[in-house]
Structure 1
Amino acid sequence: MREIVVDTETTGLDPLKGDRLVEIAGVELVNHVPTGNSFHRYINPQRDMPEEAFRIHGLSADFLAGHPLFHEVIDDFLEFAGESRLIIHNAAFDMRFINAELARLGRRGVPMDRAVDTLAMAQKRFPGAPNSLDALCRRFGVDSSARVKHGALLDCELLAEVYLNLLGGRQADLGLKVETRRSMVVQVTQRTVRPARPHAASPEELAAHRAFVARLKEPLWDLPEG
């Protein structure tokens, strides 16, 4: 089963108010396990970068100005994603931005039912608890020390581990361990053949037997026939 973990960074919270995508990434999973295949692009939003957003991801307008526009990267992303299910933390946010950018190009959006929202999964499993990506990494023991600022590719990699834990946790070797066969050693012990011991009764034993039989009253072998 192929899935794609997706994350984006933006200039703000609302694409309907002019906020734009500035970064998009995806990490491929097969049977919930990362394969090492990934997608990552920075995007020129053709606008300024609000200070609040810059503090979150550290992407300046000057840095992004040297990167391609959305329409230059979206086909590569859609080809990478294919028809696979999309694994997204707070899926409504990222899907809204991706589809708003597609709408600006007059293109069809990505159906929302393709997305699996890991935030909703976490809220169902841990109601009332903090369920941000950082909080889930701490809860599941996922090392997020490299996450000084938000970054789409790093966040995808962290979310892939969190998602695996949300599904029920890691099992030994992720079920991919190849069983090894143990060789069976049969040890054969050589035994020394001994000669048969004599079983003949001694004269004393025979005499004792005759005396014992003589004391029997009407033994069966002496009864008359009929």
Structure 2
Amino acid sequence: MRQVVLDTETTGLEVRQGHRLVEIACVELVERRLTGRHYQTYLNPDRVIDEGARLVTGIEDEFLLDKPRFPDVVDEFLGFVDGAELIIHNASFDIGFLDAELLRLGPARGRIGDRCSVLDTLAMARERYPGQRNSLDALCKRLGVDNSRRELHGGLIDAQLLADVYLAMTSGQVGFDLGFDVSAEQRDVIVVRPASLQVRPHVLHASADESQLHEQRLDDLDKSAGGQSLWRRLHD
């Protein structure tokens, strides 16, 4: 069975407000083993990134100016995921953005659901751990998956971590990044723009004051929503 663990980063939370993809990242599992094949690309969204999204991802508008647009990479991306079961944390969010990008290209390429089945690990976690936090970080801690490299949200690192979380949730077997430690001669790797996680320039970590302001802003959103805001629900 071929599965693809997928994560995206976006300019903001609401696809209906015209927010766009800025990163797509996937890692491949075959028969529940990481193969080392992965796909990753940054995207020029032709719009600015919301401040909240910038603080979460560390991606700056200037970094994306020379990156490809979705129509430039759509065939590569669809070729990688076609026919696979997609494993996504909070799948409706990512699928909504991917389908919106495909819709902009016209009906010929259809929707993601026309090509792939989808498994939502957030729904799975909520069923298995009711009443508990089920963010990716919370699941890593609960299941013993090392997420010490995850200082900011990034598509490829999050996809690798989610693969380990999925394996741990479904069988107790964690992949330990085996597919990413073998030599280039031993694996078939698909990587596009850029080739590694280290190429993201000018990543600015939020200061203590910025983090406090961010939390205050989320508290204000909670109050205005009369409960937990959409941002916190999506990252819980």
**TM-score (structure 2 length as normaliser):** 0.71
Distance (Å, rounded) in 1 between the aligned partners of 2:60 and 2:93 = 21
| 2:95 alignment partner in structure 1 | 95
Aligned to 1:23, the other structure's residue is in SS state strand
- Shift of residue 32, structure 1, vs aligned partner: 1.4
Among 121, 130, 135, which residue is 1:127 paired with? 130
What do the CA deviations read for 1:131-156 (whole angstroms, capped 9, x no partner)? 00000000111110110100000000
Distance 2:66 2:38 in 1: 22
Q: Which residue type is aligned with residue 12 of structure 1?
A: G
Query: 1:129 Cα deviation (Å)?
Result: 0.6
Letter in 1 for 2:113: P
Letter of the 1:95 counterpart: I
Deviations 1:23-60 (A, max 9, x none): 00110001111110000000000111111110010111
Shift of 1:105: 1.2
Which residue number in structure 1 is paired with residue 173 of structure 2? Answer: 170
> Are positions 1:156 and 2:159 aligned together?
yes
Question: Take 2:41 and 2:103, find their aligned partners in 1: how far apart are those partners?
Answer: 20
Name the CA distance, whole Å, in 1 between partners of 2:73 and 2:171.
35
Structure number with higher helix proportion: 2
The yes-or-no answer on 1:2 pairing with 2:5 is no
Determine which of 107, 130, 142 is the counterpart of 1:139: 142
Aligned-pair CA distance for 1:160:
0.3
Unpaired runs of at least 5, structure 1: 174-226
Aligned residues between the structures: 173
Give 3-state SS (helix, strand or coil) of 1:26's partner.
Answer: strand
Cα deviation, residue 115, structure 1: 0.7
How far, CA to CA, are the matches of 1:147 and 1:126 in structure 2?
23
User: 1:4 offset after TM fit, Å?
Assistant: 0.2
Match of 2:15 in 1: 15
User: Which has the higher Rg, Structure 1 or Structure 2?
Assistant: 1
Query: Per-residue CA shift, 1:70-111, capped at 9, x if unaligned?
Result: 111121011011201000000000000000011111131111
Residue in 1 that maps onto 2:83: 83
* SS class of match (1:111): helix
Q: CA deviation at 1:168?
A: 2.4
CA distance in 2, matches of 1:9, 1:30: 25
SS at match of 1:128: coil
1:170 positional shift: 1.6
Give the corresponding residue for 1:47.
47
Letter in 2 for 1:147: R
The separation in 1 between residues aligned to 2:170 and 2:150, in whole angstroms, is 23
* Alignment partner, residue 106 of structure 1: 106
Q: CA deviation at 1:69?
A: 0.3
Residue-by-residue CA offset, 1:191-220 (whole Å, 9 max, x unaligned): xxxxxxxxxxxxxxxxxxxxxxxxxxxxxx
Q: CA deviation at 1:16?
A: 1.4
Instruction: Give the Cα separation in 2 of the matches to 1:73 and 1:84.
Output: 18
The separation in 2 between residues aligned to 1:36 and 1:111, in whole angstroms, is 25
Q: CA deviation at 1:66?
A: 1.1
- 2:121 is aligned, of 115, 118, 122, to 118
CA displacement at 1:169 relative to structure 2:
0.7
Q: What is the Cα-based RMSD across aligned positions, in Å?
A: 1.7
Partner SS for 2:68: coil
Whichever residue aligns with residue 62 of structure 1, its letter is E
Q: Secondary structure at the match of 2:171?
A: coil
